[in-house]
Structure 1
Amino acid sequence: MHIGLIGGVGPAATEVYYRALVRAFAAANRKLALTIVHADAREMVANLEAGRAIEQAAIFAGYVDQLRASGCDAVAVTSMGGHFCMSELERVSRLPVLSAVPALNTYLAASGARRVGVLGTRAVMLSKLYGVNSVEVVIPSAEDIDAVHSSYVTLATSGNASPDQCSYFHAAARKLHENGNADAVVLGGTDLSIAFRNTVLPFPVLDSALIHVEAIAHAAMN
């Protein structure tokens, strides 16, 4: 299968997907067929915050057409925030869309966790990972959600995480574990891994980007 990625939303997540797919195919001794298009993160964030799902799906569909013209067989969006318009995209896409949500649901069901916290955009948190139901999902408190959202958007659009940003997200994860009784914390923003590199916390931290990549690779190889 020739994989198409809608990247750029944001740049750091795109790199995570690319490197992880390369590793997965190398480990399986399989040849990777991959094309990436670069979407506009600021445009996507503006549509996300305004709730313009149909409009963003149409933009993504244009990228799908580019990927289809490049020979891709299926596509994936490298952003959990970008999944806010997944239903709309699936209706208009001219290629199959490999969504992260079923992959997360399956992974979490097998993880042994009963209660997980989530960090990411407002849409990801308030929707509780877009309706994942294999575990109980807990989110930051009402007074923290806006701060987590804005901090994440800043990180994602820049593609970098300062020491202060890293400390902020580590504290937010600890709060979900300690105050929300979460067995594990899901990085529900696919760029969040850059804030948790080389970090050891006293509870599992699950990267939604890597979980999605595993499902993409499995679909492509099978």
Structure 2
Amino acid sequence: MPSRSPIHIKPTRIGLIGGLAARAGIYYYERILQEYQGAKIALDLTLRHADMGTVLRHVGSGDRVGLGHYLGSLANELFDAGMDTVSITAVAPHLAIDEIKKRAKGPIIDVLATIPGALKSAGFERVAIFGNRAVMTSAVFGAVPEDMVVKLDPSEIARVHETYTDIALSGKRGTKAEVAYFDDLAGDLLGRRGAQAIMLAGTDLSSFYADREPDFPFLDVSALHIEQILAGI
């Protein structure tokens, strides 16, 4: 993991759309709150709960328009409540980020925009991606150039997706067996297949490793997103 740059906190009225997995919104909420408390800056932080089943159906079917309409409407509820910015506390719903932005009344902090610069800053030229199936098979919706992706085989994609979905739905931290599987797969991707790091492209992987960071080189997309939210860009 590259060393963390200082965060320059800007917005004071932040809206989050959570409910997309059991721990995702809470993870963002806690991390943002910690930064503001540490900086002794007053914060108006509002978490709006989305229906996970609705989001997963849209993501699973690739329905960008329906997802954009649904999450854009929730974002506008937050803007109507006086929020300066709104962010979606999961990577997979960024499938519809363009549609959400078109519908929203204010700025949506887009996690996909952070990824190219973070890869360049870290010096990573080859990465493997862990997350939801849609995120893995689309190279994080095109945010990672295809020629930089060390691809998992179909059975690995299926197992990572199933494990990730179970983590997201149950809100649990990693079991020993799950941690061992990710460690072994990462070791093979890094040691034999040429990856330089594993991209953790799912908020629930961030909370999965909250108690102990992975032993392998990684890039945490949720951490990038939170820094972007704090900077208000």
- Within 2, Cα distance between the matches of 1:212 and 1:83? 12
What's the C-alpha RMSD, in Å, of the aligned pairs?
2.0
Aligned-partner residue type, residue 88 of structure 2: V
**CA distance 1:78–1:201, shift in 2 (3 Å):** closer
- Within 2, Cα distance between the matches of 1:133 and 1:50? 22
Could you tell me which of 64, 74, 78 is aligned with 1:67? Answer: 78
What secondary structure does 2:203 align onto?
coil
**Matched-pair identity in %:** 29
What secondary structure does 1:147 align onto?
helix
- The answer for the alignment partner of 1:157 in structure 2 is 169
- The answer for the alignment partner of 1:31 in structure 2 is 42
Post-superposition shift, 1:137?
Answer: 2.6
Q: 5 Å matches for 1:52-91?
A: 52-91=63-102
- Residues 18 and 89 of structure 2 are in contact (CA less than 8 Å); yes or no, is this contact kept in structure 1? yes
Task: State the aligned residue count.
Answer: 220
- The answer for the alignment partner of 2:185 in structure 1 is 172
**CA distance 1:81–1:18, shift in 2 (3 Å):** same
Segments of 5+ residues of structure 2 without an aligned counterpart are 1-10
- Residues 132 and 165 of structure 2 are in contact (CA less than 8 Å); yes or no, is this contact kept in structure 1? yes
**CA distance 1:58–1:49, shift in 2 (3 Å):** same
Aligned-partner residue type, residue 118 of structure 2: Y
- Residues 117 and 180 of structure 1 are in contact (CA less than 8 Å); yes or no, is this contact kept in structure 2? no
Could you tell me which of 212, 215, 221 is aligned with 1:208? Answer: 221
- Residues 129 and 139 of structure 2 are in contact (CA less than 8 Å); yes or no, is this contact kept in structure 1? yes
What secondary structure does 1:139 align onto?
coil
**CA distance 1:200–1:17, shift in 2 (3 Å):** closer
Could you tell me which of 90, 114, 129 is aligned with 1:118? Answer: 129
What secondary structure does 2:53 align onto?
helix
**CA distance 1:139–1:32, shift in 2 (3 Å):** farther
With normalisation by structure 2, the TM-score equals 0.86
Matched, 1:148 2:157: no
- Within 2, Cα distance between the matches of 1:110 and 1:132? 15
- Residues 127 and 148 of structure 2 are in contact (CA less than 8 Å); yes or no, is this contact kept in structure 1? yes
Aligned-partner residue type, residue 61 of structure 2: A
What secondary structure does 2:40 align onto?
coil
Matched, 1:196 2:219: no
- Residues 73 and 103 of structure 2 are in contact (CA less than 8 Å); yes or no, is this contact kept in structure 1? no
Aligned-partner residue type, residue 87 of structure 1: D
- Within 2, Cα distance between the matches of 1:184 and 1:31? 36
Segments of 5+ residues of structure 1 without an aligned counterpart are none
- Residues 170 and 196 of structure 1 are in contact (CA less than 8 Å); yes or no, is this contact kept in structure 2? no
- The answer for the alignment partner of 1:98 in structure 2 is 109
- Within 1, Cα distance between the matches of 2:169 and 2:163? 10
- Residues 117 and 184 of structure 1 are in contact (CA less than 8 Å); yes or no, is this contact kept in structure 2? yes
What does the per-residue CA deviation read over 1:126-182, in whole Å, with 9 as the maximum and x for residues that have no partner?
A: 111222247823231223112211221121121114513333333333232223321
Aligned-partner residue type, residue 50 of structure 2: A
With normalisation by structure 1, the TM-score equals 0.90
Post-superposition shift, 1:3?
Answer: 1.1
